[in-house]
Amino acid sequence: MTVVGLDDTDSRERGMCTTYAAARIAERLSQVAADDASEDVTDTVRRILLVRLNPAVEYKTRGNAALAIHTDCDLDRAFEVARAELESLAETADDRTNPGLVVADHPAEPAAIPEDVGQFARRAIRDHLEIDDAAALVDRHDYRSWHAGDGRGRIGALAAIGSWRELEEWTSELIAYRERGTWGTTRDVDVESVFAAADRGYPEAWDTVDRGEGETVCVPHTPGPILYGIRGDDPETVRRVATEIESEPVASRRLFVTNQGTDVHLRDGTIADVRDGRAYRLAGHVASDPETRRGGHVFFPLETEPPVSDDDTDGDGAGGVESDGTGTVGTDDAPTLECAAFEPTKRFRDHVRALRAGDRITACGEVSDGTLKLEKFAVRELVRTERVTPTCSDCGRTMESAGRNQGYRCRECNTDAPGKTEIPLERDLEEGWYEVPPCARRHIAKPLVRGGFDAQTHAER
C-alpha cells in the first residue's frame, strides 16, 4: 500500500484547505488507475486519514490537520500526482504556507508502519517537533518527499503516515465541498434540515449543531471549499446525516477516517510538571472560588491534592481540604495552576462558576501562558458543608469573635460558641464530567456523549 502524507497547503487569505487538496489528489489517483486499466477497477483509494495534530502549535492555520491517503497506486505514480497538485497550489500560496509531501510504501496493516514513525505521530499530536526531526526520519526510511518554503509541512505529512500505526481510535467525517465559483460567498444550507438531520443522527453523529446556541456547527464560517462536515462514530451515520441536509449544489463528497473526537491530545500529568503548549488531564482541588473577569472569562486556581494524611478526620480521603467559608482553601506552597473558561465556551462557564473552593476535580485542556484552557472537567467530590461564624441561639444574630482562639460570643445575649459551625452548602453541580458545548469544541476533543468516561457524564448537545 502506498501512503501519501501531506500537510500545510492552506492559507488564511486564500481559504484553501488541506482536506480539499487530499480529496483532489485522491480523485486524480482514482482517475489515473481507471485510465491505466483495460477493464473496470475498484477504487484505488482505500481511505483518507484526517489527523488532527497538537492544537497548541503556533504555525497552524486553523485546526492543525494533516492528511494521509492510503492507495494501491504505485509509489512513483502517486508521488508524481501528489507533487503536481501541491506544486500548483504552492505557486500561489502565501509565505506562511510551507507544504510538505512524504510518500511511503508499506504493507496495509498498521503494524507495518515503523515504530519510530508511529511515535513521531504521537509526539506531533501531544508535543512540539522540529523540521529536522521529520527530515531525519524521512531519510532513515528512504521515503520520497517534496516540500516548498521551509518544508514544515513534512512534520504533519509524516505524522499522518505514522498515525495509522499509533492511534487506536478512529471516527468519521463526511465533508461536502462547494462548487468552485461559489467559494467565499455565503453558504446556502437549509438550517431546519440540518437540525432535523442532526437529531436523527444523534448520538452516533455529534457536534453537527449546537442546540443551546441554535448554531449549525457543521457549516464553517471561513471562506473555502467546505460546505459542511458531518462528524460521527461511523461512516454509515455521517453519510446518512449528510444526505438529509438540503443545500446549494454539492460539488463532491469525501469520507475521512479521523482522530477527531478522541481526546488523544490529552496526557496525564501533574500540576507541578505542566508545560505550555501541551494538553493535560490533571487532578487537583479548587483552591478558591471561581471569579468572572472582564469579557466574561471565568478563572479559578487548581491546586495539587495534598496527600491523604492524619488530618483526614472525616475519612473522606480529601485530606484537609474543606471550605472555611472564606472562598479559599489549601496550603501556601502547593503547586497551583490557573484554569480558565473563556467567553466563547458559553454555558460551560455556568458549571465552572458553580465550583467552590475545596471541590476535587479532574481538569482537561491545553496549557498556554501558564493557564489551563478548560475543555472539560470531572467533579470527583463536592464540598457539601461550609464553616461559618455561628449565630446566637437566642436572638439569631451573627456572633462576634471573642478574641484569638477564644471562640465566638453574642454581645447582646452573652451566649457563646467554641468555634465556627458547619452548615450544609447548597450546590448547583453534581459529580461527573462537564464539557464545553459543541460550538466551542476543539476538533480533537472527545464529546461526552461518545462514552468511555470514568464517571457519569453531563453531555452538551
Question: Which residues contact ligand ATP (rule: CB under 6 A)?
Answer: 7-8, 10, 17-18, 53-54, 57, 59-65, 98, 124, 127-129, 152-153, 155-156
Cβ proximity to ligand ATP: between 129 and 372 the closer is 129
Residue nearest ligand ATP, Cβ-based: 156
**Shortest distance in whole angstroms from residue 158 CB to ligand ATP:** 8
Q: How many residues does the chain have?
A: 461
3-state secondary structure of 387: strand
Look at residues 273, 308, 290, 277 and name the one whose alpha carbon lies nearest to residue 377: 290
Residue 301, preceding bond cis, omega within 30 degrees?
no
State the minimum distance, in angstroms, from the CB of residue 370 to ligand ATP: 20
Q: Minimum CB separation from ligand ATP for residue 241, in Å?
A: 22
Taking the least distance from each CB to ligand ATP, the nearer of 50 and 429 is 50
Residue number with CB closer to ligand ATP (119 or 389)? 119
Q: Is the CB of 123 or the CB of 461 nearer to ligand ATP?
A: 123
Q: How far apart are CA 327 and CA 411, in angstroms?
A: 27
Q: Which is nearer to ligand ATP, 19 or 71 (CB)?
A: 19
Closest distance between ligand ATP and the C-beta of residue 446, in Å? 19
Question: Dihedral of the CA atoms 41, 44, 46, 51 (nearest 10)?
Answer: -160
Please choose, from the candidates 86, 85, 77, the residue with its C-alpha nearest in 3D space to the C-alpha of residue 153. 86
* Calpha distance 277→62 (Å, rounded): 15
Q: Which is nearer to ligand ATP, 54 or 216 (by Cβ)?
A: 54
- If you search the block for the grid coordinates 484505488, which residue do you land on? 44
The residues with which 281 forms a beta bridge, in sequence order, are 268, 364
Among left, alpha and beta (phi > 0; psi -120 to 50; other), residue 207 is left
Least separation in angstroms between residue 226's CB and ligand ATP is: 9
Q: Which three cell numbers stand for residue 95?
A: 509565505
Residue 8 or 359 with smaller CB distance to ligand ATP: 8
Distance of closest approach, residue 135 Cβ to ligand ATP, in angstroms:
12
State the Cα–Cα distance between residues 182 and 419, nearest whole angstrom.
72
In the complex, least distance from residue 428 CB atom to ligand ATP, rounded to whole angstroms:
37
The least distance separating ligand ATP from the CB of residue 48, rounded to whole angstroms, comes to: 13
Minimum CB separation of residue 7 from ligand ATP in Å reads 4
Burial class (CB in 10 A: 0-12, 13-18, 19+), 131: middle
Q: Report how far residue 4's alpha carbon sits from residue 161's, in angstroms, rounded to the nearest whole number.
A: 7
Of residues 59 and 299, the one with the C-beta less far from ligand ATP: 59
Strands (E), 215-289: 226-232, 250-258, 266-269, 278-286
How does 75-101 read in b/e, with b if 16+ C-beta sit within 10 Å?
A: bebbbebbbebbeebbeebeeebbbbb
User: What is the identity of the amino acid at 90?
Assistant: A
- Cell reading at 460: 452538551
Give the number of other Cβ atoms within 10 Å of residue 291's Cβ: 12
| Least distance between ligand ATP and beta carbon 15 (Å) | 9
- The answer to whether 3 and 104 have CB atoms below 8 angstroms apart is yes
Q: In terms of CB distance, is 144 or 265 closer to ligand ATP?
A: 265
CB of 155 to ligand ATP, least distance (A): 4
Q: Which C-beta is closer to ligand ATP: that of 141 or that of 384?
A: 141
Nearer to ligand ATP, 93 or 379 (CB): 93
Amino acid sitting at position 254? R
Task: Give the residue with the Cβ less far from ligand ATP, 65 or 302.
Answer: 65
Q: How far is the CB of 174 from ligand ATP (least distance, A)?
A: 17
Residue 251: CA atoms inside 13 Å, Cβ hemisphere, count?
A: 14
Question: What is the distance between the alpha carbons of residues 109 and 410, in angstroms, rounded to a whole number?
Answer: 78
Give the single-character DSSP code of 215: B
Cell numbers describing residue 24: 483532489
- In sequence order, what are the residues at sequence separation of 6 or more whose Cβ sits closer than 8 angstroms to the Cβ of residue 345? 374, 436, 437, 440
